[in-house]
Amino acid sequence: MPQTPADLTARLKPLQKRVREVGHDAVLVINPVDTRYLTGFVGDDSWTLVPARGTKVVVLSDARFEEQIAREAPHVAAVMRKKSLVDELKTLRDRRKLGRVAVQKGSLTVDRFEAIKKGLGARAVAAWDDGLMTQRAVKDAGEVKLIAKAGKIQQQAFRELRAFIEPGQTEAEVAAFLEYRMRCLGADGVSFPSIVAADANAALPHAIPGRTKLKKNGLVLIDWGAKFNGYCSDMTRVVFLGKGPSARMKEVYRVVLDAQLAGIAACRPGTPLRAVDAAARKVIDDAGYGEHFGHGLGHGIGLDIHEDPRLSHLADEHAVLEPGQVVTVEPGVYLPGVGGVRIEDDVLITARGHRVLTDLPKSFESATI
Amino acid sequence: MPQTPADLTARLKPLQKRVREVGHDAVLVINPVDTRYLTGFVGDDSWTLVPARGTKVVVLSDARFEEQIAREAPHVAAVMRKKSLVDELKTLRDRRKLGRVAVQKGSLTVDRFEAIKKGLGARAVAAWDDGLMTQRAVKDAGEVKLIAKAGKIQQQAFRELRAFIEPGQTEAEVAAFLEYRMRCLGADGVSFPSIVAADANAALPHAIPGRTKLKKNGLVLIDWGAKFNGYCSDMTRVVFLGKGPSARMKEVYRVVLDAQLAGIAACRPGTPLRAVDAAARKVIDDAGYGEHFGHGLGHGIGLDIHEDPRLSHLADEHAVLEPGQVVTVEPGVYLPGVGGVRIEDDVLITARGHRVLTDLPKSFESATI
C-alpha cells in the first residue's frame, strides 16, 4: 500500500495555500518526517523546498541518498549536494529567483536559523509555523489503512506472546519476543521502545524493560507498537499471570477499563479535546484514584508516535476532535511500589463518531493467562 | 555498570565553567540525551536547569516520570509540573533569583525560544552554544566500557546470525533475527534501524530491510548496532553466500577493506579529521572507485548514534582527533544497480594511538559463508 504520487501531491496543496496566504515564495521543509509525508522519500540530512505554486519540489540531499530518492520519490527533483545545505539552498534560491523562503519554525533550531540567515541574508528567510502538524493530524484513507495494518501486526504478535509468556522470563525477553514477531509479521520495526513492566515496575508509566523477572501470580504491563510503511500503532494491555495480583490491583484494572471505555465513547467530531480527557478522568476520580492518573488521556498517531491532537486537560479549550484524526485512548492508574494498569487502543474519528482500530480483548477475564 | 553520581557530577563542572565564562546564571538543558548524560535520568518532555555554581540541579518533569527520576537520578531535585514547562521555569527562576538563563542553542527551536522569551522576558534568556556536543565527544572510562559492551553484544548476535543466515530468507527476517538476539543478549535495543541489504540493494547506503530475498551466491550488506545502558555501537559487515558475487564486487571488497585499514591506521590524537578521511579515501580513489564513495569516513558514537567528531573532507580544517573520542571508520563503495560494500568498526582514540573496540573477522576469506 505505498502512497501514490497523486496522494502525495494532494498534500502539497493545503501547504502551498498557507505559504501564499502569508506571502512567502517557498517553504523549506527541514523535518525528515514531513519530507516523507510530502514526497515519499525516507531519509535524513536532507531538506525539501516546496514552492508556493506548481509541483516543482526539490529535495536537497547527498550522494548517500541518490538512488533511494530515485526509487522512493521519482517525481521530485533532487540535488546531491557538493557543498553545505545552506550553500546549496542559496544556489537554488538564486536560480529559481525566489524572494522569501519560509522555514519550519517548529523544527528549526536557533543555530540553524542563524546559519541560514547568514547564508541567504536575514530578509530572505522567515521562521514560519507551517501548519503541517495540524494538517498531518487528519489522515487520508491510505494513511488510516497503514495505521490499521500496523495495529493488526502488533495484535498478532501479542496473541503469539500470550502463548509464550510465563513466570521466570525477564521483561527484556518478553520485549525481545514481541519485537521479533512484529518484524517477522512485516513491521518496519517498533513504533517506539517497548515497555514491559512487571509488578511494581508497572507503576512507572515509561518503564524500560530490564532484568526483572515475571513473577508467578504477578502483573505485567505491556505498551508496544508496530510501524508499517512508516505509520505507527500503539497499544497497552495488562496481563495477570496465574491468580494475578492483589484484590486492589484487580479493582484498579476494572476502574481503568471503565475509564477507557468512557473515553472512547466520548470520541466524536466536535467534542473538545479536554472533554474527552475529562470523560475518562471522571471515572478514575470517582473511584478515588484521581491522584494516581498523572498523564493525559491520549495523543494522535501517524508517521510520528506522538502527534496532534493531544487529549489532555491542558489542551487548548477551543480545540475539538475532527474526522480523520486517529488518537490513542490510554488512561492509567499507578500505585508507587505496588503496580500500575494502563489500557490503550487506537481510535479513528469518523464523520459521525468513531471506529476503534484495535480489538484485542481487554475484559477483566481476558487479562488472565 | 551504571554511572555513579560522582561520574555524573564531574560532567557538570566543565559545563558550569562555560556558563560562568559567558556570565549566565544557569543553563537550561532541553535535549533529553544531555539530561541523561548529566543526571542519569532517561526520559523526555523534561528540562534540566543547571546553575552556574553548586550542585543544585533541578529536573522539570511531570508525574509520569516521578518514580523513575527517584530511581535513576536520586541526587537531583525534581519538580513535577502542574503547569506548562515555561511557567514552571519562570517560578523556579524567580525562586532561585537567577538573572539570565542560557538555553541550548543546538536543540532549541525558534518557536520554543519565542515561548520561553514570552514567559520569562526576552532579557532573561539567551540562546547559547553550550559546548556539550564537544564535551560529550570525549568519553570517560565508564562510557568506553559501555560502548565496548554494546559492541560485544552486537558481535555475539552476528556470530549467531552466521549460523542462521541462508539464501531464501528476506532482508527483514535477517534484521529481525539480529535484533532479537541483541535484545536477548542484554541490549536495551538497537542503536539505529538495522540495514540488511541484498545484492543491488546494497548500493543504497541507507537501505531499509524489506521483502527482497537473499540469493544463492549473493552478497548481503549488514549495518547494525546495539545500545547498552544508553550507549551505541555500530558496525558493518558484508557476507558472501556460497560463491559470492561477481569478480568485480570481490575486487571492491578488497579495496574497501584496504581503505578501512588505512583509515584506522590514521587514527591517532592530533591527526586532522580531514586527514583521517583522506587516508581511506586515497585507497579508494587510487583503485578508481572514488566517485562511488559518496559519504564521510565515519562519526563519533556515544549516547547518540551520530556524534562528534565527523571524519569527513567537510570537517573544520583545524579540527583534530583527541584521546577519549570513539569513532566509526566505515568507507564504502556503491555501484548503482549492482551492489555495495561497506566495512565498519568502532575505534577508541587513546593517548598514543588507537584501540579498535570491535573485532569480528573481516578478511576477504572470512566474508564467505
Domain that holds residue A204: 141-367
Query: 3-class secondary structure for B243-269?
Result: CCCCHHHHHHHHHHHHHHHHHHHCCCC
Rounded CA-CA distance A127/B107 in Å is 16
Domain boundary among B135, B160, B188: B135
Domain boundary among B98, B115, B135: B135
Same-domain pairing of B312 and B263 = yes
Domain boundary among B104, B135, B166: B135
Same-domain pairing of A186 and A301 = yes
Write down the ipTM of this complex. 0.88
Task: Go through chain B and tell me how many residues it has.
Answer: 369
CB-CB neighbors (< 8 A) of B221 in chain A:
none
Rounded CA-CA distance B344/B235 in Å is 5
Same-domain pairing of B160 and B79 = no
Determine whether the interchain pair A113/B111 forms a contact, defined as Cβ–Cβ distance below 8 Å.
no
- Are A48 and A38 contacting, i.e. CB atoms less than 8 angstroms apart? yes
* Confidence check: pLDDT of A205 > 90: no
Same-domain pairing of B183 and B252 = yes
- Are A76 and A69 contacting, i.e. CB atoms less than 8 angstroms apart? yes
Same-domain pairing of A261 and A307 = yes
Q: Copy the grid coordinates of residue A212.
A: 526483572
Same-domain pairing of A44 and A167 = no
Query: 3-class secondary structure for chain A?
Result: CCCCHHHHHHHHHHHHHHHHHCCCCEEEECCHHHHHHHHCCCCCCCEEEEECCCCCCEEEECHHHHHHHHHHCCCCEEEECCCCHHHHHHHHHHHHCCCCEEEECCCCEHHHHHHHHHHHCHHHEEEECCCHHHHHHECCHHHHHHHHHHHHHHHHHHHHHHHHCCCCCEHHHHHHHHHHHHHHCCCCEECCCCEEEEHHHHHCCCCCCCCCECCCCCEEEEEECEEECCEECCEEEEEECCCCCCHHHHHHHHHHHHHHHHHHHCCCCCCEHHHHHHHHHHHHHHCCCHHHCCCCCEEECCCCCCEEEEECCCCCCCCECCCCEEEEECCEEEECCCEEEECEEEEEECCCCEEECCCCCCCCHHHEC
Question: How close, in Å, is residue A106 to chain B by CA atoms?
Answer: 6
Nearest residue in chain A measured CA to CA from B306: A45
Question: How close, in Å, is residue B105 to chain A by CA atoms?
Answer: 6
Q: Copy the grid coordinates of residue B281.
A: 579515501
* Domain of residue A69, CATH code: 3.40.350.10
- Are A183 and B176 contacting, i.e. CB atoms less than 8 angstroms apart? yes
Same-domain pairing of B73 and B171 = no
Same-domain pairing of B243 and B96 = no
Same-domain pairing of A172 and A299 = yes
Same-domain pairing of A301 and A352 = yes
Q: What is the pLDDT along chain B (369 residues), one digit of tens a residue?
A: 557 878 898 999 999 999 999 999 999 999 999 999 999 999 889 999 999 999 899 999 998 899 899 999 999 999 999 889 999 999 999 999 999 999 999 999 999 999 999 999 999 999 999 999 999 999 999 999 999 999 999 999 999 999 999 999 999 999 999 999 999 999 999 999 999 999 999 998 888 898 999 999 999 999 999 999 999 999 999 999 988 788 999 999 999 999 999 999 999 999 999 999 999 999 999 999 999 999 999 999 999 999 999 999 989 999 999 999 999 999 999 999 999 999 999 999 999 999 999 999 999 999 998
- Are A43 and A5 contacting, i.e. CB atoms less than 8 angstroms apart? no
pTM of the model: 0.92
How many domains in chain A?
Answer: 2
Same-domain pairing of A65 and A191 = no
* Domain of residue A333, CATH code: 3.90.230.10
Question: If contacts are CB pairs under 8 Å, which of residues 26-45 in chain A contact chain B?
Answer: 42-43
CB-CB neighbors (< 8 A) of B206 in chain A:
43, 64-65, 68
State the pLDDT at residue A2.
58
Provide the phi-psi class of B228: left if phi over 0, else alpha when psi is between -120 and 50, else beta.
beta
Same-domain pairing of B303 and B159 = yes
Q: Which amino acid appears at position B121 of this protein? A: G
CA atoms within 13 A on the CB side of B247: 0
Torsion angle defined by CA atoms of residues B42, B43, B44 and B47, in that order, rounded to the nearest 10 degrees: -70
